[in-house]
Structure 1
Amino acid sequence: MAVFSVQSENSDRNAVRDIDEIAQYQAGRYISSNEAAWRIFSFPMHERNPAVVHLGVHLENGQYVYFTDANVQQRALNTPGTTLTAFFTLCKENAFARTLMYSEVPSYYTWNVTKNVFVRRRRGEPVDGQPSIFRENTIGGLYNVHPNQDECFVLRMLLVNVPGPRSFQQLKIVDGVTHAIDKY
């Protein structure tokens, strides 16, 4: 299909024309018989493998909280959980989770958005020596943090190197000594 327009020679070529870009796109789009069949039978058009779960990085009590006039008190008293705070809770309650780095958690657990918790996977490859624990090839991707954000940058570095922390405070403990997170 071709899209073209016809103008008289006397028309002002610099005049602003009303162009309906959406109509032009729909008129000019071509769907082959193969794509049409795949869409009719609801076959997946693009494969997304492995899945990537984005993992938040924030300082203690530094997570984003979205609220309205109706729920402002509830959100102020009970801040919603994040993937990071849920990871700490998971490490407190589960010995296997304490062996994992933050970025490894999505391979063994799924993120429940409504409850803001990690839930053990029910399918996948069984883990040797761990009954009822399964592994998928899901990747946990931590959000980037700019080095100018000193404390958050150091926190991110700790999260990718310390297995199974139970709290923000525990990340600061090295060989039994609690360290302050200062500029490096």
Structure 2
Amino acid sequence: MGFFILHITGRIYGRIPKIVCQHLGLLENDNHWEITLSEAGLSCLPSQLRSLLAIILTTCSPSDPKALWENHKDDLSEDYMRAARAANDNTNLNCSLQIYNQALIDIENICISVNSKSLEHLGLHSPVRDRIDLADKDISRKMNYDIEALHTFISKSKPLLVTDQTVAYETIQGMIIDNKGGLIFLDAPGGTGKTFLLNLILADVREKKEIAVAVASSGIAATLLCGGRTAHSVFKLPLSMQISGTPMCNISKNSGQGRVLKTCKLIVWDECTMAHKKSLEALDRSLRDLRGNDQPMGGALLLLAGDFRQILPVIPKGTAADEVNACLKSSYLWD
């Protein structure tokens, strides 16, 4: 809470509460978010509206999230309400509370997938959930894919592979089947179909109801991978890794993400050539600890992809030698 000194009617006040600051007009209000949700409620599906609210909560820092929920909770849960009415259960107060609770669960699931924060951390009350371990929920989200859609994608994509892609695909598939873990680097110039091949490999693993984690060094590259996120977001990489001797990922063994990394079949890291070598080394140390295995990457299979002909790690005020030293090829893991 900030410290404010205000002269009001000749008196001095210190440490004005947030709600008082809002009434005095010292803080930005949520009128634009109210208008956004109201307009979206006229044309969007409730599921789309829940996604919109989750994005606002996780990226826009509204000043009063509870008011946004209270003012629009009917629109946010309209589909659940309609289903209850069809079941002739709309007069039950407990049913209405359950409907709002289910909408909050959906919103919280989206928020957790975006920035790993619950509604309680974002200014809303957390929904009532069944007594199921949240770590298990994280794993179930990683396995919640449309198997038929994946099968269709695989059957259509495999015939499109060129000779070099086929060789790489079969080699990587062999390593996945052998389940020996290790590191493999997919090196090819930009525009030759690396992302297409990576998505096909990810689909293959997920079709078998196994966990495949997809990350990229940049946000744009992450959006091109199915289920992709940035490496810093998924691995909780430290921001000060360049000055740290032995950096580690900020992931505990009992957390949801820790459980995912312990059980995943494959980790794909696209545009890894842009990452500092200590990012890869921090992931190696963390996976060895999480999986209780002293092999490289804790015995997990890490598929790296990138192009050294493009951007290398950016070192502020560094020389060309500093950039080469920060490159993945200078890491002890490269061999």
TM over 0.5: no
Larger helix proportion of the pair: 2
Larger RCO of the pair (alpha carbons < 8 Å, separation 6+): 1
Alignment TM-score, normalising by the size of structure 2: 0.19
